[in-house]
Amino acid sequence: MEIPCFSILYFISICMFALEVCKSVDVLRSSEPIRDSDTLVSPGEKFQLGFFSPGNSSNKYLAIRYHNIPEKTIVWVANGDNPVNDSSGVLRIGNEGKLVLVDQAERVLWSSNNMNASSQSVVAQLLDSGNLVLKDDSENVSGNYLWQSFDHPSNTLVAGMKVGWDLRMRLDWHMTSWKSAEDPSTGDFTCGVDLGGIIPQLVIRKGRVKHFRSGPWNGIQLSGVPPTHNLVFIPKFVNNSQEVYYTFNNFNESTITRSVLNASGNHQRYLWSEKTQEWTMIYMWPHDECDVYGNCGPNTMCTISNPQMCSCMIGYQPKSQAEWDTLVWSSGCFTMNTGMSLKECELECFKNCSCRAYANIDATGGGSGCLLWFGDLLDVRKLSVYANQDLYIRVSASDLDSLNSKWKEWVAVAISMAFVVLSVVLYFCIIWKRKKHAQGITFDLPAEDENSLQLLIFDRVTILRATNNFCDSNKLGEGGFGPVYKGQLPNGQEIAVKRLSEDSRQGLNEFKNEVMLIAKLQHRNLVKLQGCCIEEERMLIYEYMPNGSLDSFIFGKTREDSLVWRMRFNIIVGIARGLLYLHRDSRLRIIHRDLKASNVLLDNEMNPKISDFGMARVFGGDLSLVKTKRIVGT
């Protein structure tokens, strides 16, 4: 039978239309916006982008979810804090080449934060990794993205996503919890990599308060969590000059895992089961009360299997026995050397009386590198499963007798009598040095002022703790006198510590001079001296000035444009008022002799304050008697 030509063409067109409808669309172009019922599906049909409502919520969110998993599992949300209240949401590529989500009233609910680009050549694509990328379609370069969702994690981490830092771009990859399972708006907890210590580690925070820390990566695993010997996922930690991040890969193509930061601040790992068609949680951090940061207080060990989970380390006793009896335990810093062996690390620790503990950095290949802890040990727990790494804690010889068998399983301490004798000798040497040093510092104020000097004398341990043992990340700058570090006292007050170096041009007389002068000066345009330290070395403790020195604004390449004329004028007037006070209005007539932009500091409101009085000089009423016989200052 002869089939009419038009019938064949009609049949072919129907088939082509059906193929087009069934085809998965993974690319969004400027001429093809996504509306409420539209979706993008990755090429391998692993992930899907569209408008979804979590749980029983009636709000609509632009989100990415698993496409090939029956249970609706969202892994990324764009407009968590700005939901669409109806079905009018539209995602499109705007005129500036950015992804833009708008509602019926054309109100922008969310947009990508990439640089402006030509909207004609920009496309968005959903990859099989679950990454939504924005790229210039005219540039056929893989991975050259204008923007990507992996740089802005939600509450979920999938294989290939990073938590940490891109140090070149100053990108902070961190997870943020949802308010609840049905409300993806910003919750109370974040999970990211803390760069504040010597070795980075994962930290969960509630606001600014630490809730959990993973411990540093020891080459095998995160040292502060139980080992996860399984065939589910492969963790990885990268730490170099360009990036610092934690990530993971699934063990194979058939394995699907994800980690979620839930509304209670728990980091949970889930595994998808094809057999049961549901997610199974395989572990969680914090797992118990011993995982909560600092739950037992300093110099304690947490053992969850004990009826009283908190116990004092050997050589310590409860600070408050009354609190301890009611199960209230809340009443270190470390340094490292990657080239040391464990024995060399032990010897290095014994050289410093402040060293409390040491351990290997890398647990692979029998162990290598050296970590040293100073001051109180915080957040220590005993793991029921061997974690590939021992912590060696310094204790006195008399306390070793009380070492029980359980403690021996976890802590290995080897102290020879030679080191005990050396420690005693060093101790008396330090005591003698401190007494000698303290006797050498006096404050010669005028007779009428001797009894009115109210100046705090800080001990060295307090300053070490405040500055994280003078960690480089706390360093604010350095001058001829020595370095200046940012610190924080136990009461939360921020301070600046000027540490007089041994080869400093500022000697004992200049130190006494600065302490004597600044302690008596009270003016809004002069930096306030909080106190000093005279143990082993000389240090001055000032109020902390968040905006640093004036020269960083005048000569700095990144801050020079931020000083508008009104701000400059106020700074000039403030400096003039400070000088007027020094020259005429203060009880001690003072000339600064070292006034320069680097010695003018700015507080959080950009108010100027004159600092550094090491070269200053007091003069009386008869100016003819004041003569400078040498060149000093600026």
Active site residues: 594
The full DSSP string for 375-411 is S---S-B--SS--S---EE---HHHHTT--HHHHHH-
User: Which residues contact residue 391 at a Cβ distance below 8 angstroms, ignoring those fewer than 6 apart?
Assistant: 357, 358, 359, 380, 410, 411
**Per the structure block, which two tokens stand in for 10?**
């009609």
Instruction: Determine the longest span between alpha carbons in the chain, in angstroms.
Output: 128
At residue 554, the 3 state secondary structure works out as helix
- Label residue 477 exposed, middle or buried (CB < 10 Å: 0-12, 13-18, 19+): middle
Q: Which residues pair with 488 in a beta bridge?
A: 494
Nearest to 443 by CA among 520, 527, 347, 373: 520
Structure tokens at 254: 């058939």
- 202-227 burial by CB neighbour count: b if 16+ within 10 A, else e? bbbbbeeeebbbbbbbbbebbbbbbe
Cα-Cα-Cα-Cα dihedral sign, residues 31, 37, 40, 45: negative
Please state whether beta strands 482-488 and 475-479 pair in parallel, antiparallel, or not at all (unpaired): antiparallel
125 CA to centre of own chain? 32
Strand-pairing partners, residue 300, are 312
